[in-house]
Amino acid sequence: MTAKHSAFAEVNTYVRRVAKRLQIPDAYLNIMLNPYRELRVQVMIHRDDGSIFETFGYRIQHNAARGPYKGGIRYHPDVNEDEVRALASLMTWKNALVDIPFGGAKGGITVDPRQLSPRELQDLTRSFTRKIDMALGPYRDVPAPDVNTNAEVMGWIMDEYGRRHGHTPAVVTGKPLALGGSKGRQAATGRGVSLVTQWAANDNGIDVPGARIVLQGFGNVGTYAAEFLMQAGAKIIAVSDVDGAIYAKDGLDIPALLAWVREHRTVKGFPGAEPIDGAKLLTIPCDILIPAAMGGVITMANAAQIQTKLLIEGANHPVTPDAAAALEQRGIPIIPDILANAGGVTVSYFEWTQNLQQFFWSEAEVNQRLGERLETAYRTMSETVVESQCTYREAAYLIALRRVWEAMQLRGI
Ligand code: NAD
């Protein structure tokens, strides 16, 4: 992999740029650039047909100056060290920006979970949990769901960890409600994307009622973002998933689409919409473009064709730094991932808090606190844009790096 295509190098271009502005000494900067600990473990299971399946899992802990490591676990064929490092680093800056007391981490297994039976998936999860067990703990490292993992997988992690350490619900977030999950967690990332989209649209002269939105990815983040934005009056005109993409110029019927996806597991074939090419979806003229699937989907290869007025990063690092600069030069504001999709980890923090207290909050309380925290972060970022004459992303990193640097200094590092 060349440095040009390294997601980790891309995240670090933002870190370096802002560190220079803040005049962070090299010794601190190097600690901020590099992960603290990287685990790469072999995981294997017996398949249902008796054969052995073997692959690698990762847990990378980036920085814990502000609290225990925190970040999701992804199951995907493209999971590799570089990508997990990038995602771990993003978690450090995201958690600092929304001011929650966690550091950053990420994990994953290189696997296509669609090829595994439910029993195989559970065994794989348990094998992985045992291998990284020594690095986990409610005050050490707290995983959560990410691409292709969900509440059920988090429940298995909690159970496997508990076999050695005793019942410890706070070791993982995004759990099922019956196992100590938080109300509002499942919808939290999409809810956050929707809130941030509405604030940013208002600040950039776009009326949300009637706004035409294009959305890539219709999983946990995309489905809830679509639902909440539709409720706010926006028209979701195009949606895609890994299997296909659909377009309806007057807006998709989101409740009907959700019912279709529950039954067919894909947006493909949804009646009342025309099928379109997945790659072309990103270039449809629209008011707001929300990539909410994978990283690195907007590059110099397609940046010139993007025709939106505002871009909201629902996914992690969906836009490469050179493409982001090209879009910003064309006057397209980009709300960075570390703010736009921070709703999930914010409610994960609430779940961890509730687990430690063994006292649960109502959904209304969770949602209210989520909105308040994200709004504070959004406003602080927007004020920094004006004060420091910089992009939204630079402002977000300025705030985050300042906070992490301060914590490192106060710890006496
Ligand atoms: P998910 O597994 O629930 O859904 C992913 C969606 O993306 C699916 O609809 C999948 O079909 C689609 N997809 C995958 N490859 C695609 C492609 N090439 N083209 C179009 N669609 C494609 O995952 P998720 O939890 O919704 O995560 C989506 C993104 O949001 C990821 O970048 C993730 O890191 C980020 N994120 C998730 C959370 C969370 O709480 N789940 C929090 C913060 C950030």
Task: State the distance from the centre of ligand 1 to the C-alpha of 24, rounded, in angstroms.
Answer: 34
- With a 6 A CB cut-off, is 291 part of the ligand 1 pocket? no
Q: Name the helix (H) or strand (E) containing 240.
A: strand 235-241
pLDDT reported for residue 1 = 37
Q: Nearest C-alpha to atom 36 of ligand 1 is from which residue?
A: 315
- With a 6 A CB cut-off, is 224 part of the ligand 1 pocket? no
273-327: pLDDT as tens digits: 999 999 999 999 999 999 999 999 999 999 999 999 999 999 999 999 999 999 9
Q: Nearest C-alpha to atom 35 of ligand 1 is from which residue?
A: 315
Task: State the distance from the centre of ligand 1 to the C-alpha of 64, rounded, in angstroms.
Answer: 25
Instruction: Find, among 97, 2, 15, 85, the residue nearest to 345 by Cα.
Output: 97
Q: Nearest C-alpha to atom 20 of ligand 1 is from which residue?
A: 241
One-letter amino acid for residue 41 of the chain: V
Query: What are the Cα distances from residue 396, in Å, to 95, 100, 103, 385?
Result: 11, 14, 16, 9
Residue 87 clears pLDDT 60, i.e. is over it: yes
Which atom of ligand 1 is found nearest the CA of 297? Answer: 18
338-372: pLDDT as tens digits: 999 999 999 999 999 999 999 999 999 999 999 99
> pLDDT tier at 2 (50, 70, 90 boundaries)?
very low
Q: CA 75 to CA 149: how far, in whole Å?
A: 6
Strand ranges for 47-183 from DSSP E: 52-63, 69-76, 104-110, 141-145
Task: State the distance from the centre of ligand 1 to the C-alpha of 291, rounded, in angstroms.
Answer: 9
Question: Mean pLDDT in the chain?
Answer: 97
As given in the structure block, the two tokens for residue 406 are 């301060």
What sign has the CA pseudo-torsion 193, 195, 198, 200? negative
- With a 6 A CB cut-off, is 344 part of the ligand 1 pocket? yes
The answer to whether the beta carbons of residues 214 and 282 sit under 8 Å apart is yes
- With a 6 A CB cut-off, is 155 part of the ligand 1 pocket? no
| Segment 168-195 mean pLDDT | 98
> pLDDT tier at 5 (50, 70, 90 boundaries)?
confident
- With a 6 A CB cut-off, is 220 part of the ligand 1 pocket? yes
The answer to whether the beta carbons of residues 375 and 195 sit under 8 Å apart is yes
Q: Nearest C-alpha to atom 31 of ligand 1 is from which residue?
A: 315
> pLDDT tier at 147 (50, 70, 90 boundaries)?
very high
305 phi and psi, to 5 degrees? -90, -10
What is the percent of the chain where pLDDT is above 70?
Answer: 99
Strand ranges for 243-389 from DSSP E: 244-247, 274-276, 288-291, 310-312, 334-335
- With a 6 A CB cut-off, is 312 part of the ligand 1 pocket? no
224-273: pLDDT as tens digits: 999 999 999 999 999 999 999 999 999 999 999 999 999 999 999 999 89
Q: CA 334 to CA 337: how far, in whole Å?
A: 9
Q: Nearest C-alpha to atom 19 of ligand 1 is from which residue?
A: 242
Task: State the distance from the centre of ligand 1 to the C-alpha of 147, rounded, in angstroms.
Answer: 5
Residue 29 clears pLDDT 50, i.e. is over it: yes
- For residue 300, the number of C-alpha atoms closer than 13 Å in the C-beta half-sphere is 5
pLDDT reported for residue 4 = 52
Tell me, yes or no, if 309 is annotated catalytic.
Answer: no
73 phi and psi, to 5 degrees? -125, 125
Task: State the distance from the centre of ligand 1 to the C-alpha of 28, rounded, in angstroms.
Answer: 33
Name the residue of 73, 74, 147, 312 whose CB sits within 8 Å of the most ligand 1 atoms, as the mutation to test its pocket: 147
> Helix 363-388 vs helix 343-357: angle between axes, to the nearest 10 degrees?
130
97-106: pLDDT as tens digits: 999 999 999 9
Q: Nearest C-alpha to atom 14 of ligand 1 is from which residue?
A: 242
Which atom of ligand 1 is found nearest the CA of 318? Answer: 32
Q: Nearest C-alpha to atom 8 of ligand 1 is from which residue?
A: 219
Task: State the distance from the centre of ligand 1 to the C-alpha of 26, rounded, in angstroms.
Answer: 35
- With a 6 A CB cut-off, is 279 part of the ligand 1 pocket? no
Which atom of ligand 1 is found nearest the CA of 293? Answer: 7
Q: CA 223 to CA 342: how far, in whole Å?
A: 16
Residue 154 clears pLDDT 90, i.e. is over it: yes
| Segment 167-185 mean pLDDT | 98
Q: CA 67 to CA 184: how far, in whole Å?
A: 23
Catalytic residue among 70, 94, 106, 235: 106
Q: CA 278 to CA 47: how far, in whole Å?
A: 33
User: Per 3-state DSSP, what percentage of the chain is helix, strand, and coil (rounded to 5)?
Assistant: 50, 20, 30
Which atom of ligand 1 is found nearest the CA of 148? Answer: 2
Q: What is the DSSP letter of 412?
A: T
Query: What SS3 string covers 353-373?
Result: HHHHHCCCCCHHHHHHHHHHH
